């Protein structure tokens, strides 16, 4: 290194790392069937889209509604002690997307206990653990799902 060149400071290195790891990740959610039925399965589809820079450590957290049980997912999600699903997706390259399908079973007595058709709410969020997100307004998705009683549909 010549006398006119200098080593970057720790602050400069951290600033460059933050800039490189800054990307806008966003999440959207859909579900099927609509409406859902008590004692039936419901599939949530989460779509995660990355922004301009690679994202090195993407995590999705899905707070499933009360009145459902997690059956399966296609992304090796782990249910934490609070009942939230934590899905570590790893790396998403720039403008790359990923999809997670989560299947839940709706409690058989959900509609009966609610006194009639009811709405359940699913919330999911995405974050890039490696760096900041310049637009956190698109890091959350919420779906309201109407649940009907399966037995009433047969009558």
What 3-state DSSP class applies to 79? strand
Q: Per residue in 92-128, pLDDT tens? A: 999 999 999 999 999 999 999 999 999 999 999 999 9
Q: 3-state SS string over 133-151? A: CCCHHHCEEEEEEEEECHH
Query: What pLDDT is recorded for position 152?
Result: 61
As given in the structure block, the two tokens for residue 119 are 């709405």
pTM: 0.85
Number of compact structural domains in the chain: 1
| Residue segments in the chain with a per-residue pLDDT below the cut of 50 | 155
Q: What is the pLDDT of residue 4?
A: 74
| Residue at 3 is within a domain | no
- Residue 31: per-residue pLDDT: 98
In a domain, 5, yes or no: no
CATH of the domain at 24: 2.60.40.1510
Q: Is residue 1 part of a domain?
A: no
- Do the domain assignments include residue 133? yes
| Long-range contacts of 118-122, Cβ-Cβ distance < 8 Å, separation of 24 or more | 118/67, 118/146, 118/147, 119/144, 119/145, 119/146, 119/147, 120/36, 120/65, 120/66, 120/67, 120/68, 120/144, 120/145, 120/147, 121/65, 121/145, 122/29, 122/31, 122/44, 122/62, 122/63, 122/64, 122/65
Structural domain includes residue 36: yes
- Specify if 54 maps to a domain: yes
Q: What domain range includes position 27?
A: 10-154
């Amino acid at each position: 290194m010549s006398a006119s060149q200098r080593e970057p400071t720790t602050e400069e290195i951290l600033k460059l790392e933050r800039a490189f790891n800054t990307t806008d990740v966003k999440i959207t959610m859909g579900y099927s069937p609509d409406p859902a039925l008590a004692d039936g399965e419901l599939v949530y589809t989460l779509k995660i889209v990355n922004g301009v820079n690679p994202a090195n450590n993407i995590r999705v957290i899905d707070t499933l509604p009360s009145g459902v049980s997690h059956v399966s997912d296609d992304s090796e999600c782990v249910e934490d002690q609070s009942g939230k699903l934590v899905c570590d997706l790893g790396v998403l390259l720039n403008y790359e997307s990923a999809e997670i399908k989560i299947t839940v079973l709706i409690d058989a007595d959900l509609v009966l206990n609610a006194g009639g058709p009811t709405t359940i709410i699913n919330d999911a969020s995405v974050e890039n653990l490696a760096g900041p997100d310049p637009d956190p307004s698109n890091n959350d998705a919420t779906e309201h799902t109407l649940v009907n009683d399966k037995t009433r549909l047969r009558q």
